[in-house]
Amino acid sequence: MANLVKSLQDVVAAHPQKAAYVFGEDTVSYGQFYGQVKAMASTLEQKGIGQGDHVALVLGNSPAFLITYFAVLSRGGVVIPINPTYTPDEMAYILLDGDVKGIVGLSPLVAQAEATLSKLPELKIVISVPYADVPALKREGEIEFIPFAESFAASEGTFVEVDEEEVAVILYTSGTTGKPKGALLTHRNLFSNAHSIGEYLDITPEDKALAALPMFHVFCLTVIVNAPLLRGATIVILPKFSPQDVFDLVPKHRVTLFAGVPTMYNFLLQTAMKVPAYTSALKHVRVFVSGGASLPVQLLESFEQMFECKILEGYGLSEASPVTCFNPLHGERKAGSIGPSIVHVENKVVDELGEEVGVGEVGELVVRGPNVMKGYYKLPEETMMTLRDGWLYTGDLARRDEDGYFYIVDRKKDMVIVGGYNVYPREVEEVLYQHPDIVEAAVIGVPDAEQGEAVKAFVVTKHEGVTKEDIRAYTQTKLAKYKQPTYLEIIEELPRNTTGKILRTVLKSEAFQNS
């Protein structure tokens, strides 16, 4: 049966003394980790958390996340990871919509949300995790509050047998259009994707994976948590990404697997350019993985040249647990491509009628496989629109080459139509990244009285001496006239979410206000 908990038990039996995770100065073996999971599962059982019950994890990267994640799954419960930097309103929406019965969250957040928590009809238990010097909460009332340190029962919890088609995790999408939607990921969905990635990246018990991405995000959850633990590897937990910490921890622990989003690679590159000694700090890493957003080719090439390595770019989305494509570890890597379909997963590019288009033609990327979600929680109409005839419609525009490698062109909704011509923001961004004085760039469409829409570019430059005229002159030599930015804005930094993805929606809202 496809089950992450059963797989953890198998690894514990085979490698009980092997390090499961490292956090700060603490190294915890698989045997010790499994003991923590069982003790937490017992507490959840005593507090009434059982099969099908929803438990929200409002945590950053920490042992608390790993322990509770597996404890909830072992009880047959459903995990709802929530970004701890969300606003109270954003969290409240997910907690209410997700029908949570239990919450494991950072103490300060739990304290701030007490008024909201009392309004959640299903909530029975809150386990508060200390953060820095903030003490864990202990309250009396209908909702039981337990400090994390006291939430490990002496007895062992009963592990519940669950069908592989039962829901294991509800991942709320970032909600770029309307309210966030909860993607229902089953035990089979998560296990199949973790198993495929473990094989694809040749992960072994000798590997050490750095958790620099947030664990509440599906990219980290599958590639850096589930897949390594499935294969008996060690997770080195980084509470929050910073280039300095990466350059310190990688050589200290001889990290071999690093996964990041393009922004993280850019930060590492810019830091190493200022401190040349860092260029040798990543030499132990055998696999660099990029996902979450398209990796500009210029950034990829600059990073690889600086660190003498190779980055494997892949593609995924929450609704597919998440990985569907990857450049191969052994085989041809094509810069700018997200690679071919991973094993057991099928991708194709279709037109508006759902018919597959030819090689090199642009259409919507659709996916099917054992990793594709069951649907959206309590949203049957949204589910029907996204899952059609067994295929997941991703909303991303792509093309396929003659070797079966896929290329993301852009988000369908981000395409700009200038005077009837299609302009893909990524194409313009790739050109801007090639400018020697541009660090980052993002392109959107804004309303235009004559052309319908016009291209607007936001850029971050290396120094103040770069002018808009310089950049415009550069794009004129690289792009057709209708693709050139009509509007150009030089800013100090681009808005991002917590995973480092550039938020075009924020740029659009500001552009509309200023246009």
User: Across residues 153-166, what is the average pLDDT?
Assistant: 86
> What are all long-range contacts of 272-281, with beta carbons under 8 Å and residues at least 24 apart?
272/243, 272/247, 272/306, 272/307, 273/306, 278/243, 278/247, 279/306, 279/307, 281/246, 281/247, 281/248, 281/250, 281/251
Q: What is the pLDDT of residues 9-45, one digit of tens each?
A: 999 999 999 999 999 999 999 999 999 999 999 999 9
Identify the pLDDT of residue 383. Answer: 96
Residue 369 pLDDT greater than 50, yes or no: yes
Identify the pLDDT of residue 298. Answer: 92
CA distance 286 to 288: 7
Enumerate the β-bridge partners of residue 134: 131
276: amino acid identity, one letter? P
Q: Which candidate, 204, 202, 242, 241, places its Cα nearest to that of 219?
A: 241
Q: What is the pLDDT of residues 466-495, one digit of tens each?
A: 999 999 999 998 998 889 999 999 999 999
Instruction: Give percent above pLDDT 90 in the chain.
Output: 72
User: Across residues 286-313, what is the average pLDDT?
Assistant: 94
Residue 223: DSSP 8-state:
I
Q: Is 126 exposed, middle or buried (0-12, 13-18, 19+ CB in 10 A)?
A: buried
User: Across residues 110-115, what is the average pLDDT?
Assistant: 75
Residue 60 vs residue 119, higher pLDDT: 60
Identify the pLDDT of residue 178. Answer: 64
Residue 78 pLDDT greater than 70, yes or no: yes
User: Across residues 127-151, what is the average pLDDT?
Assistant: 70
User: Across residues 109-120, what is the average pLDDT?
Assistant: 79
Residues written for the chain: 515
Residue 137 pLDDT greater than 60, yes or no: no
Average pLDDT, the chain: 91
User: Across residues 310-315, what is the average pLDDT?
Assistant: 96
Identify the pLDDT of residue 134. Answer: 47
Identify the pLDDT of residue 515. Answer: 46
Identify the pLDDT of residue 1. Answer: 63
Q: What is the pLDDT of residues 205-252, one digit of tens each?
A: 999 999 999 999 999 999 999 999 999 999 999 999 999 999 999 999
Residue 21 vs residue 129, higher pLDDT: 21
Residue 317 vs residue 118, higher pLDDT: 317
CA distance 211 to 260: 9
User: What's the alpha-carbon Rg for the chain, to the nearest Å?
Assistant: 23
Q: pTM (2 decimals)?
A: 0.87
Enumerate the β-bridge partners of residue 47: none
Identify the pLDDT of residue 141. Answer: 57
Give the Cβ contact number of residue 336 at 10 Å: 15
Domains of the chain, with CATH numbers? 4-12+30-162 (3.40.50.980), 415-514 (3.30.300.30)
Identify the pLDDT of residue 448. Answer: 83
The string of DSSP codes covering 366-380 is: EEESTTS-SEETT-H
Residue 511 pLDDT greater than 60, yes or no: no
Identify the pLDDT of residue 174. Answer: 65
User: Across residues 188-198, what is the average pLDDT?
Assistant: 97
Instruction: Give percent above pLDDT 70 in the chain.
Output: 95
